[in-house]
Amino acid sequence: MNKLFLPKNFLWGGAVAANQLEGGWDQDNKGLSVADIMTAGANGKAREITDGIVKGKYYPNHEAIDFYHRYKEDIKLFAEMGFKCFRTSIAWTRIFPNGDEEQPNEAGLKFYDQLFDECHKYGIEPVITLSHFEMPYHLVKAYGGWRNRKLIDFFVRFAKTVFKRYKDKVSYWMTFNEIDNQTDYTNRFLMATNSGLILKNDQSDAESLMYQAAHYELVASALAVKLGHSINPNFQIGCMINMTPVYPASSKPADIFQAEKAMQRRYWFSDIHALGKYPENMEVFLKQNNFRPDITSEDRIVLKEGTVDYIGLSYYNSMTVQSKESNPGFHFIGPELTVDNPNVEKSDWGWPIDPLGLRYSLNWLADHYHKPLFIVENGLGAYDKVENSQQIHDPYRIAYLKAHIQAMIDAVQEDGVKVIGYTPWGCIDLVSAGTGQMSKRYGFIYVDKDDQGKGSLKRLKKDSFFWYQQVIQSNGSQL
């Protein structure tokens, strides 16, 4: 059989997000972001969303791993691994500290000029997310976050500013990180970071607010895509979805149908990004459930005109659901019930480990959208131990990544899926979004900092550093 290998220009790299690694939260006129007001979670408890800065509390994103001052050292290490690209985000609050100003903050713009120049020095292509979990807190307080249509203009102004400024330095863009996470509207953390909605624990209109916020974000995204192409026709602008394929718990038709419904409830986001319209099942669902988000006929034209060039996705795990019929005694919240999948292992944080699920996802996305795919997050959060010799042996991370890269290569070679790049998450240890802690580590590079914020911030190469270097060097043929 003739094998299709990964293309020579395949974008191997790593991914991070501004708020989780930069630190420098109040440097050079940066404004306060939603991420800056969250404490770390502890003992399995969720992160606390405070009302601004409360004295005596520890805010892990304030210093993070101090990439703001150490980016040169870190990019040099990425270059040593052979990165072809580096995915990060631009902190909205460095460019527009409050989000609603007319004029951008020059010091913030300069920082990213320097960062992108440093990448290009080593032939590393920046891949930039416009909004990754850190919108200006002022927009949350003064406007109620994305429930407000005005946010569209603020976001588009931000996008226009950075598209123009970096049009010769950045070619790959994404609009909103994991925009589809909002379907989990009972998760206060996700609603705050993704939609700028600070909700009560039992907010009864959470779902309805989510549809409104999501719609305005989707319109803002489409406007940004169209605008970006007019600024530089060579821009590749993608969406970014959290791909979690939903499996049925059994071959019972009711379970299979439930899994399909669960996919529909989540992947209407990528339908709109890629196909430019709400899927029929979603139109019916909104109507039947009396959700009436403000969606104008002009919005529908905008969505049509602003479809993305590629689908960016994160993939960590699959999930499994059971229908009501299979489990009649259970109290259901929402239409489906998530159950344990006994056929897959789990990470230290209980996330299913399912490499074949990645191949399945890539096939699913290719079949639905017929657009290039870019795996912009994948990885294993794990506890690491530094040996006396300053070495970190992380065979568990290598095993996870190896199996997932193999699944990606199989999708390309055996299924003909077009994948343009692979950037594992947290290529350098950083603050975990979900827990706010450092001890959930993803990196090839260890950072000496603990969950209380103590440590020298020294960088150390893990075993996986050398392994990934060889993967890139061999273009995936040596795993």
Instruction: Tell me the catalytic residues.
Output: 377
How are the residues of the chain apportioned to helix, strand and coil, as percentages rounded to the nearest 5? 40, 15, 45
Nearer to ligand BGP, 271 or 377 (CB): 377
What would the x/- binding string for ligand BGP be over residues 132 to 161, using CB under 6 A?
-x----------------------------
C-alpha distances in Å from residue 85, one per residue of 13, 97, 170, 213: 5, 28, 11, 31
Nearest distance in Å: CB 164, ligand BGP: 26
Tell me which stretch binds ligand BGP (CB under 6 A): 25-33, 298-306, 425-433, 449-457. 425-433
Q: Which of 78, 77, 69 is nearest to 22 (CA)?
A: 69
* Long-range contact pairs involving 205-208 (C-beta distance under 8 Å, separation at least 24): 207/291, 208/291, 208/293
Question: Residue type at 304?
Answer: K
Nearer to ligand BGP, 142 or 382 (CB): 382
Residues 259-318 that bind ligand BGP (CB under 6 A): 314
Residues 170-209 that bind ligand BGP (CB under 6 A): 177-178
Nearest distance in Å: CB 442, ligand BGP: 7
Nearest distance in Å: CB 123, ligand BGP: 26
Residues 228-267 that bind ligand BGP (CB under 6 A): 242
Residues 318-347 that bind ligand BGP (CB under 6 A): none
- Other residues' Cβ atoms within 10 Å of the Cβ of residue 333: 8
Q: Which of 118, 122, 51, 109 is nearest to 82 (CA)?
A: 122
Tell me which stretch binds ligand BGP (CB under 6 A): 96-104, 333-341, 392-400, 427-435. 427-435
425 touching ligand BGP, by CB under 6 A: yes
Nearest distance in Å: CB 419, ligand BGP: 19
Phi, psi of 126 (to 5 degrees): -70, 140
Tell me which stretch binds ligand BGP (CB under 6 A): 211-219, 284-292, 431-439, 469-477. 431-439
Tell me which stretch binds ligand BGP (CB under 6 A): 151-159, 166-174, 397-405, 430-438. 430-438
The residue ranges of DSSP E strands in 315-451, in sequence order, are 319-322, 337-339, 345-346, 352-353, 373-377, 419-422, 445-447
- Candidate list 10, 11, 13, 17; residue touching ligand BGP; CB under 6 A: 17
User: Where do runs of H (alpha helix) occur along 306-378?
Assistant: 355-369
Nearer to ligand BGP, 88 or 236 (CB): 88
Report the phi/psi class of residue 74: left, alpha or beta, with left for phi > 0 and alpha for psi in -120 to 50.
Answer: alpha
Nearer to ligand BGP, 158 or 442 (CB): 442
Helix (H, G, I), strand (E, B) or coil at 395: helix
- Candidate list 432, 441, 444, 468; residue touching ligand BGP; CB under 6 A: 432
Helix (H, G, I), strand (E, B) or coil at 61: coil
- Indicate the residue whose CB is closest to ligand BGP: 434
Angle at 28 between CA 24 and CA 31, to 5 degrees: 75
Nearest distance in Å: CB 437, ligand BGP: 9
Q: What is the size of the binding site for ligand BGP (CB under 6 A)?
A: 15
184 Cβ contact partners less than 8 Å away, ≥ 6 residues apart:
190
434 touching ligand BGP, by CB under 6 A: yes
Nearest distance in Å: CB 87, ligand BGP: 10
Distance, CA of 355 to CA of 390 (rounded, Å):
31
Nearer to ligand BGP, 22 or 255 (CB): 22
Nearer to ligand BGP, 440 or 461 (CB): 440
Nearest distance in Å: CB 205, ligand BGP: 25
Helix (H, G, I), strand (E, B) or coil at 126: strand
CA dihedral of 65, 92, 103, 218, whole degrees rounded to 10: 170
Helix (H, G, I), strand (E, B) or coil at 466: helix
280 Cβ contact partners less than 8 Å away, ≥ 6 residues apart:
none
The number of residues in the chain equals: 479
Tell me which stretch binds ligand BGP (CB under 6 A): 195-203, 226-234, 428-436, 465-473. 428-436
Tell me which stretch binds ligand BGP (CB under 6 A): 45-53, 282-290, 412-420, 432-440. 432-440
Nearest distance in Å: CB 388, ligand BGP: 28
Distance, CA of 143 to CA of 12 (rounded, Å):
39
Q: Which residues bind ligand BGP (CB under 6 A)?
A: 17, 20, 133, 177-178, 242, 314, 377, 381, 425, 432-435, 440
